[in-house]
Amino acid sequence: MNGASDAAGMADMVGTAGMTSTTSASNANRGNGTSVWDAVVGQPIVPALQQTVADASASLDGAPSGSMTHAWLFTGPPGSGRSVAAKAFAAALQCDSGGCGTCAECTDVRNGTHPDVAALVTEGLSIKISQVRELVPKAALRPARGRWQIVIVEDADRLGEDAADALLLSVEEPPDRTVWMLCAPTAEDIAPTIRSRCRVVQLRTPPSDAVATYLSTTEGIDKRTATFAARAAQGHIGRARALATDENARSRREEVLKLPFALDDLRQCLDAAASLVDAAKADAERHCDALDAREVDELKRALGAESTGRKPRNMDAAVKELEREQKLRRTRVQRDSIDRALIDVLALYRDVLMLQLGVRTELINDEMRASLDRLARNSRAESTLRRMEAIGQAREALMANAAPLLTLESMALTLREG
């Protein structure tokens, strides 16, 4: 595979540099209020993408393609809206007027029903090669209705090596009208063979006022809640939305932020770790239980379990396979939930550190200033740093598949010692 790697020869970090430097007119996208770009929050790169859409549109009429190309990689920190940006871009490409947000093309892309926009979303721990193999023939088709045949791979960082190889040939030299859009946290998360075929669109963590404005204008959330949610979510749009709309998420967060104040003895540390794990399990149950049951039902029905009255052959094996995947998904949900909690705790210590160092900056947890002050007075900046380090190590360990309870216990004990 690697041998053919330079054939296309349009590897493009250069393109990125060109694009990210076009940051001047950052508010141009908040014009008429209905554009598909409205969902892309606080990203100065939008005008450049709009220019690309214009180029692409012109190229269909025979003009040179300009900044349009056939493979894009959207990178940015979690919650910066990678897949939202990719979808907006896809809609804008399909739309006659560059992403009006109201026409059939735009609505269909938004609803995920557009025949020429396929999205590969995974809820499992990795994208399987069989999923990629289903997608590749689709990418070889001409668009049925729209202007382009677009394939979006969300979570492209979850492509395994073999899955990435299966994708490579198509990403490298797709048919004229096909556009690939991959999304990943950083370009380094993608196999170099694929990365080098893509033009990178780098998103940034949206500033919290942009997130707050987005929440209050498009989701109709009151200003105060929106500001709080945006600040607490630290630029993670989805998390901000959850905090703003979901009472449960808010109380979970409050619960988590009590953790640093309840580490007085060994038992409390262990309890704190256990409650984090239990809450994550509860999250996973809430998220997965109904979904799992429905998927199993659907699979059984698809295999004809109810219609024929006889148990279809191989049904047990298929159900078992599905359940195995569901277990992986549950692991991922659980792990993500713990990670979110750890980020919140990390932000709290970050605030403490700011206070200890006398940095005048906005506190992420401004509403609990009094307790933060107390925590800051009772320890030194060095130990705050050590604590933050311990949280970081715990997050890394969890990503490396360490036992959650044990890791969190170890972290809580380190937090206690400082």
Partner 1 sequence: MAARTVDPLVPVTLVVGPETLLAERAVAAVVRAARRAQPDADVSEVTGSEMTAGGLAEHTSPSLFATARVLVIHDVQNVPDAVGDALVAFAHEPVDDMYLVLVHPGGVKAKKLLERLRKAGVHEVKAERLTKADDQVSFVRSEVHHAGGRIDEAAARQLVEAVGGDLRTLASAASQLASDAPSGVVDQQLVGTYFEGRADVKGWVVADRAVEGKTGAAIEELRWALQTGTDPVLVIGALATALRTLARLSGAPRGVRDADLARDLGVPPWKIRILRGQLRGWTPAGLARAIRAVASADLAVKGGVNDSTHALTTALVRIDEARSG
Q: How far is the CB of 265 from partner 1 (least distance, A)?
A: 6
Nearer to partner 1 by Cβ, of 97 and 268: the residue is 268
The structure tokens 């735009």 sit at 106
> Which is closer to partner 1, CB of 231 or CB of 395?
395
Angle between the N-to-C axes of helices 315-357 and 381-399, in degrees from 0 to 180, rounded to the nearest 10: 170
Q: State the Cα angle at 6 between 5 and 10, rounded to 5°.
A: 115
Nearer to partner 1, 58 or 413 (CB): 413
Nearer to partner 1, 36 or 391 (CB): 391
Nearer to partner 1, 389 or 417 (CB): 417
Shortest CB 417 distance to partner 1, Å? 7
Radius of gyration of the chain measured on its C-alpha atoms: 24
Q: Is 9 left (phi over 0), alpha (psi -120 to 50) or beta?
A: left
Q: How far is the CB of 338 from partner 1 (least distance, A)?
A: 14
Can you tell me the distance from the alpha carbon of 132 to that of 120, in angstroms, rounded to the nearest whole number?
Answer: 8
CB of 266 to partner 1, least distance (A): 5
Surface-to-core class of residue 293, CB atoms within 10 Å of its CB (0-12 exposed, 13-18 middle, 19+ buried): exposed
Pairing state between β 149-153 and 71-75: unpaired
Q: What is the DSSP secondary structure assignment for residue 142, as one 8-state letter?
A: P
Q: How far is the CB of 406 from partner 1 (least distance, A)?
A: 5
The residues with which 178 forms a beta bridge, in sequence order, are: 149
Footprint on this chain of partner 1 (rule: CB under 8 A): 265-270, 397, 400-403, 405-407, 409-410, 413-414, 416-417
Q: What are phi and psi of 84, to 5 degrees?
A: -65, -45
Min dist CB 409 to partner 1, Å, is 6
CB of 59 to partner 1, least distance (A): 48
CB of 103 to partner 1, least distance (A): 51
* CA atoms 185, 191, 193, 194: torsion sign: negative
CB 235 within 8 A of CB 77: yes
* Alpha carbon distance 417, 214 (integer Å): 41
**Shortest CB 4 distance to partner 1, Å:** 31
Element (H, E) at 118: strand 117-120
| Spatial separation of the C-alpha atoms in residues 348 and 353, rounded to whole Å | 9
Residue (267 or 320) nearer to partner 1, CB? 267
Residue with Cβ nearer partner 1 (75 or 414): 414
Q: Which is nearer to partner 1, 357 or 406 (CB)?
A: 406
Buried/exposed 169-187: b ≥16 CB within 10 Å, e otherwise? ebbbebeebbbbbbbbbeb
Give whichever of 264 and 306 is closer to partner 1, judged by the CB atom: 264
Smaller CB separation from partner 1, 266 or 282: 266
Q: Which of 214, 223, 191 is nearest to 1 (CA)?
A: 191
Question: What minimum distance in Å lies between the beta carbon of 392 and partner 1?
Answer: 13
Please state, in angstroms and rounded to a whole number, the distance separating the CA atoms of residues 312 and 305.
6
